Amino acid sequence: MSCLRCVHFKPNSILPYVGYCEVKGRVESAPEHLTPCGDFKEASIDELKAVLRKDGWVYCLTCASTITSEEELLEHYRKHVVVPGALVDESVVEEAPSGD
Amino acid sequence: MKELGVLLGGPQGSGIETSMWILGRILVSKGFGVIADREYFSNITGRHSYIQMLVSSVKLPRSLRYPVEILASMDAETVFTHFAELSEGGILIYDVNISSKRIEEIPSMEDATRERIARVLAEKGVKPSVESVVDYLERDRRVLPLGIDFSSLLKALSEQYRIDSRAVSKFLSGVIVSSVTVVLGLDEEIVAAGFRQQFRERKELVEQNIMLYKLVRSALSKHYGVVRLEEPGLATEKVMVVTGNDVVAIGKIVAGVRYQSYYPITPAADESFLLEKYDNILGESGEVIGSVMVMQTEDEIAAVNSAIGAALTGVRSSTTTSGPGFDLMVEGLSWAGMNEVPIVITYYQRGGPSTGQPTRGSQSDLLNAIFAGHGEFARVVLSSGDHLDAFYDTVEAFNIAEKYQVPVIHLLDKFLANTVTVMTIPDVERVRIERGVLTRGGPGYKRFSLESLISPRAFIGGKDTVMWYTGDEHDEYGHIVEDPEVRARMYSKRIEKLSLILRDLPVDRKLRLHGPGSPDYLIIGWGSVKGVALDAVEYFSEKGLKMSYLDLKLLWPFPSEDFLRMTNGIPDSNILAVEHSYGVNIAELVAMNTGRRIVKRVSKYTGRPITLDELIHGLEEIVSGKKERVVLSRGA
Amino acid sequence: MEPRKGYKSNVWPDWCPGCGNFGILTALYKALEELNLDPSETVIVSGIGCSGKTPHFVNVNGVHTLHGRAIPFATGIKLSNPGLKVIVHGGDGDLLGIGAGHLVALGRRNIDLTVILHDNGVYGLTKGQASPTLPLKVKTKSLAKPNIQQPVNPVLLALSSGYTFVARGYAFDGMHLKNLIKMAVQHRGASFIDVLQPCVTFNDVYTADFYRKAVYKLDADPGWDPVVKTPEHAGIKLLRAIEKSLEWGDRIPIGVFYVNPHVSAFEDRLGERLKGYPSINPSNMVIEMDGKPVFTQALFEKVFGDFIVKVSSRREG
């Protein structure tokens, strides 16, 4: 599922293998791209650090957790799937029951 | 089959709610009865949530039961969490793309839950992966596993339409609704109508969802209509589909409530949000016939006290809250009791103590609602067994508050608040608005006149009228008094109103007996126990065991005389109490007021509702003499 | 119209001889007289403590509420019947300690009512504990040890919370205080008056003698203009008011600190949502006719149509 390793892909937090591809400008589904497509660019540690500096956070898909520092990024990058961000779905606003 | 259990599961905020509403309305429009309980975490998004439904061809369902016949999962967590609740021969709908997911790979699952499920799987010799669970279900439980490729469906959809990357939930709900309706044999036209109703303003969503239906139907063509529900036989032309929060808000508008204050708290806030939508009520020709002022205050203390202030000016006012908020309102409650102010506090119980379980239900606050508040004064506590009762009881609460000039607590719970049900449309023309003894006041007006237990009430702002209110003991004008004789007369005046209330209220507003008057066993309960208890009573009656359910509606002042009369001839040992709490405190309340000792009790305090299967089992254990106290715990 | 006299009720005020509350009460009576307010349309709402008894001594509607909670009660009363003139009387413990949250909330809303703070530095009715306005290290005769808490500045708090009329008066300068009360009641929006009040029994530091020497009038300076003329100048005027509010000790300013008529009153904001508000309000709405609700079955099904589902008949099925 190469989209999950690509720097252009930001998964939707609800169905993590589906997300937005910035190059294609549309929703993509990772299982449909078992092998990398022509625009694939690996989300290397340097790419992710750059995103972290720009946006303030990146996302560890394995832990379903937000990363806000370089130390954390290095820790997770080694064994987990770290993506350059995650999208909060609109239904969260519409459907979230009050939780407190 | 006449009825069907369906469980929809997925991460919170993923389209599960939307699926429920679409599916629910489709089924209702076809004439089925539907009830749906929503279970969720104290979390905005990410944690697991599920909706358990019961669909019936023959009645308006009033309880839920396990196992379910259809389990529709959006994710792996749902499969692991609920697989054991799927019936033999049932249907599992799931996403093939998560087949390899293992239970350790689900960060949103709590460790305790994970360990428990892993243990169960190990005992059955099943590996902790989704595909192993699916295999097990197919092999050992004759379950029909319908694996759907969510990813290729999305690909097909996105070749035709522009999918919004932040609206994947709409796609997910489309897949869930389509797969369940295909399995039920519901055709495209009726499902499309459901999509149109839900996504009224968003045409592209309607089209996308209709396309999804076509795709899913094609993928599951072999299994179209594999679940055959009998043609629905309900006679109604139109019905209301509402949650408890909705129905109380509607009841308040009809009752004439024009001021509601609140502080956001689960599971009460939705009621105020709905009231805000009706801030201007339009009449027949579109003219404004009234407005509801809804104030979000800085805390619950301001909520209750501003509601009291509004009531002093003659407005029907109320506030709505849950346990932690109610505790903050207690001083205000005592002031309202002291000053004979008519207000209604709608109290939706949730798991306690303290923050407890904000999104789970309970009936643990019975004694809190009745006894909170220092000093002795008259208050009324009412409870409602189901949504339709809650509508009428809401109006009654205000009538009682104003007729007897007392604070009224309408004690409900999260189960009622959040459960979606189909109910008959209330008969509004039989509703009465009774405002009690009112007066214009005038010079020399005595707000607390001792000439009668209920002093004629004038409103602040009434012409040529001046009155005083104080939390201190007061004289007839409302000025502070410490004279012992006046103190004694005022104090007892307030409390003696309770006996007036007991005398005046018709019996069926106090308690209602469902079933034969001389049953073999009598079940007593209040609030959300009603539906499941009535179903249990029906079950046992069909088996030849005469059972009845006594629904206690007036919790305070406790209708001791009526209770004793109705239970006369039934020995203590044949009475059972059922409650969503640890102590089954209704039994303590009965003992305190009547001397009848109810030892046999069924309790549940996991925060999930009592289901019919476990209640029947629990009652069987008690009736057979195996146990005196049964604790239930089914449901994730 | 004939001016009303006699806003005195027939209840004996049981405050200590020499209590600053008597000065406040007299100023209040005079203000009500000069404004010629209709007692049946006037409400005094109080909290707990010596100042809490104020409503019983005035012949207008009185609501003597809970400690710290006068403002929420007043809010419910005023918003339900906006035609009423509502005046809150509270002590410093009441409004700045337990009730501080509500004090701030009222500033944010700018509801048209008046708050009069009886500021005496102690909790009188419970025997003289230090209150939120008693400065650090002060030891009154009722305290065993000097006070170890800093005071909060009521004028500064009111200014930062959004009150649009902020003033300070002195209990024993009755004429000056009466005028402040009149201005505050007539101002459309949330008004706040901090009234320095000697407590003859428990506070032997901030006495009438002390105040007489320290107090000076802001408008003795002809250049002092607390009124915001255009919304753009609100910031500057607020800063000037804040500066003045920080003066304490040997020289304490009294008078009007800040007036901003350009902030919308809460009632006007509600009027944008609720049709006809404030002239049509919760207290004058019709909610029943002959004991029946204003809804017919047909109207009910129309208004709540969103919740109604038509069941298709089996014939169409």
Q: Are residues B530 and B401 in the same domain?
A: no
Name the strands in the sheet holding A26-29, side by side, starting at the edge strand that comes first in the sequence.
A9-11, A18-21, A26-29
Confidence of residue B13 (pLDDT cuts 50, 70, 90): confident
Confidence of residue C317 (pLDDT cuts 50, 70, 90): very low
Residues 36-75 of C with CB under 8 A from B: 39-41, 43, 45, 48, 53, 55-56, 59-66, 69, 71-75
Strands A82-83, A58-60: pairing is antiparallel
* Best to test chain B binding among C9, C38, C63 (most B CBs inside 10 Å): C63
Q: The CATH number of the domain where B415 resides is what? A: 3.40.50.970
Structure confidence by residue, pLDDT tens digits, B294-333: 999 999 999 999 999 999 999 999 999 999 999 999 999 9
Cα–Cα distance for residue pair C251/B58, rounded to 1 Å: 84
Phi and psi dihedrals of B613, rounded to 5? -60, -45
Please tell me the total count of domains within chain B: 4
Position A90 scores a pLDDT of: 87
Collapsing DSSP to helix, strand or coil, B79 comes out as helix
Residues 86-125 of B with CB under 8 A from A: 97, 105, 107-108
Distance from CA of B558 to the nearest CA of C (A): 28
User: DSSP assignment of B90-136, as one string?
Assistant: EEEEEEGGGTT-BGGG-TTS-HHHHHHHHHHHHHHT--SBHHHHHHH
Asked if C293's CB is within 8 angstroms of B313's CB, the reply is: no
Q: Which of B459, B487, B504 is the last residue before a domain boundary?
A: B504
Q: Which domain holds residue A16?
A: 2-87
Position C315 scores a pLDDT of: 42
Q: Are residues B378 and B456 in the same domain?
A: no
Quick check: is B233 in a domain?
no
Give the pair of three-digit tokens for residue A48.
Answer: 């992710």
Position C2 scores a pLDDT of: 52
Q: Are residues B605 and B538 in the same domain?
A: yes
β-partners of residue C166 are C192, C258
Closest CA to B37 of B416, B577, B440: B416
Q: Are residues B623 and B604 in the same domain?
A: yes
Q: For chain C, list the contacting chains (3+ Cβ pairs, <8 Å).
A: B
Confidence of residue B583 (pLDDT cuts 50, 70, 90): very high
HEC sequence for B430-460: HCCCCCCCECCCCCCCCCCCCCCCCCCECCC
What superfamily would CATH give domain C20-270? Answer: Thiamin diphosphate (ThDP)-binding fold, Pyr/PP domains (3.40.50.970)
Position B123 scores a pLDDT of: 97
* Best to test chain B binding among A27, A61, A79, A90 (most B CBs inside 10 Å): A27
Quick check: is B231 in a domain?
no
Average pLDDT value for residue range B220-226: 97
What pTM value is reported for the model? 0.96
Residues 277-316 of B with CB under 8 A from C: 278-284, 288-291, 293, 295, 297-299, 301-303, 305-316
HEC sequence for chain A: CHHHHECCEEEECCCCCEEEECCCCEEEEHHHHCCCCCCCCECCHHHHHHHHHHHCCEEECCCCEEECCHHHHHHHHHHCCEECCCECCCHHHHHCCCCC
Residue owning tokens 């625009």: A39
Position B45: which residue type? T
Average pLDDT value for residue range B96-104: 96
Name the strands in the sheet holding A65-67, side by side, starting at the edge strand that comes first in the sequence.
A65-67, A58-60, A82-83
Position C186 scores a pLDDT of: 98
Phi and psi dihedrals of A30, rounded to 5? -55, -40
Phi and psi dihedrals of B371, rounded to 5? -110, -5
Asked if B105's CB is within 8 angstroms of A98's CB, the reply is: no
> Chain B partners of C283 at a C-beta cutoff of 8 Å?
313-315, 459, 461
B483 touches chain C (CB under 8 A): no
Q: How much is the CA Rg of chain B, to the nearest whole Å? A: 27
Cα–Cα distance for residue pair B183/B70, rounded to 1 Å: 9
Q: Are residues B42 and B143 in the same domain?
A: yes
Asked if A12's CB is within 8 angstroms of B155's CB, the reply is: no
Cα–Cα distance for residue pair B220/B227, rounded to 1 Å: 13
Domain boundaries, chain C: 20-270
> Chain C partners of B459 at a C-beta cutoff of 8 Å?
283
HEC sequence for chain C: CCCCCCCECCCCCCCCCCCHHHHHHHHHHHHHHHHCCCHHHEEEEECCCCHHHHHHHECCEEEECCCCCHHHHHHHHHHHCCCCEEEEEEEHHHHHHHCHHHHHHHHHHCCCCEEEEEECCEECCCCCEECCCCCCCCCCCCCCCCCCCCCCCHHHHHHHHCCCEEEEEECCCHHHHHHHHHHHHHCCCCEEEEEECCCCCCCCCCCHHHHHHHEEEHHHCCCCCCECCCHHHHHHHHHHHHHHHCCCCCCEEEEEEEECCCCCCHHHHHHCCCCCCCCCCHHHCCCEECCEECCCHHHHHHHCHHHEEECCCCCCC
Position C316 scores a pLDDT of: 43
* Best to test chain B binding among C267, C285, C302, C315 (most B CBs inside 10 Å): C285
Q: The CATH number of the domain where B525 resides is what? A: 3.40.50.920
Residue C314 pLDDT greater than 80, yes or no: no
Position A35 scores a pLDDT of: 86
**Do you know the residue count of chain C?**
317
Asked if C61's CB is within 8 angstroms of B466's CB, the reply is: yes
Residue B579 pLDDT greater than 50, yes or no: yes
Cα–Cα distance for residue pair B56/B33, rounded to 1 Å: 5
Residue C1 pLDDT greater than 60, yes or no: no
Position B450: which residue type? L
> Chain B partners of A19 at a C-beta cutoff of 8 Å?
165
Measure CB to CB from residue B335 to each of C66, C76, C101 and give the nearest one. Answer: C66
Cβ count within 10 A of residue C310: 11
Strands B144-148, B86-95: pairing is parallel
Measure CB to CB from residue A18 to each of B45, B154, B359 and give the nearest one. Answer: B154
Q: What residue ranges of chain A have pLDDT lower than 50?
A: none
Position C3 scores a pLDDT of: 56
Average pLDDT value for residue range B179-190: 96
Q: What is the DSSP letter of B379?
A: -
Q: Report the half-sphere exposure of B595 (CA within 13 A, side-chain side).
A: 3
Collapsing DSSP to helix, strand or coil, B144 comes out as strand
Cα–Cα distance for residue pair C66/B564, rounded to 1 Å: 40
Q: How does the average pLDDT of chain B come out, rounded?
A: 96
Measure CB to CB from residue B41 to each of A20, A32, A99 and give the nearest one. Answer: A99
Cα–Cα distance for residue pair C132/C117, rounded to 1 Å: 12
Cα–Cα distance for residue pair B522/B520, rounded to 1 Å: 7
Structure confidence by residue, pLDDT tens digits, B374-392: 999 999 999 999 999 999 9
Q: The CATH number of the domain where B217 resides is what? A: 3.40.920.10
Q: Which domain holds residue B250?
A: 241-430
Quick check: is B376 in a domain?
yes
Strands B293-296, B259-262: pairing is parallel
Cα–Cα distance for residue pair B387/A34, rounded to 1 Å: 51
Closest CA to B606 of B443, B364, B370, B301: B364
User: Are chains A and C in contact at 3+ CB pairs closer than 8 Å?
Assistant: no
DSSP element (H, E) containing B289: strand B288-291
The widest CA-to-CA distance across chain A, in whole angstroms, is 47
Q: Dihedral of CA C150/C151/C153/C154: which sign?
A: positive
Quick check: is A94 in a domain?
no
Cα–Cα distance for residue pair B300/C102, rounded to 1 Å: 11
Give the pair of three-digit tokens for residue C119.
Answer: 């500021």
Cα–Cα distance for residue pair C312/B374, rounded to 1 Å: 55
> Chain C partners of B295 at a C-beta cutoff of 8 Å?
75, 79
Residue B94 pLDDT greater than 90, yes or no: yes
Quick check: is A23 in a domain?
yes
Quick check: is B160 in a domain?
yes
Cβ contacts of B451 within 8 Å, gap of 6 or more: none
Closest CA to C64 of C84, C43, C81, C85: C43
Average pLDDT value for residue range C248-264: 97
Collapsing DSSP to helix, strand or coil, B490 comes out as helix
In order of B553, C95, C117, C168, C213, the CA distances from C196 in angstroms are: 54, 14, 8, 8, 13
Q: Are residues B46 and B99 in the same domain?
A: yes
Q: How much is the CA Rg of chain A, to the nearest whole Å? A: 14
Q: Are residues B464 and B425 in the same domain?
A: no
What crossing angle do the helices spanning B168-184 and B16-29 adopt, rounded to 10°?
40
Structure confidence by residue, pLDDT tens digits, B56-91: 999 999 999 999 999 999 999 999 999 999 999 999
> Chain C partners of B465 at a C-beta cutoff of 8 Å?
40
Cα–Cα distance for residue pair B493/B486, rounded to 1 Å: 10
Q: How does the average pLDDT of chain C come out, rounded?
A: 95
Q: Are residues B202 and B261 in the same domain?
A: no
Q: Are residues B172 and B288 in the same domain?
A: no
Structure confidence by residue, pLDDT tens digits, B346-373: 999 999 999 999 999 999 999 999 999 9
Please tell me the total count of domains within chain A: 1
Give the pair of three-digit tokens for residue B575.
Answer: 């009475």
Cβ count within 10 A of residue C286: 9
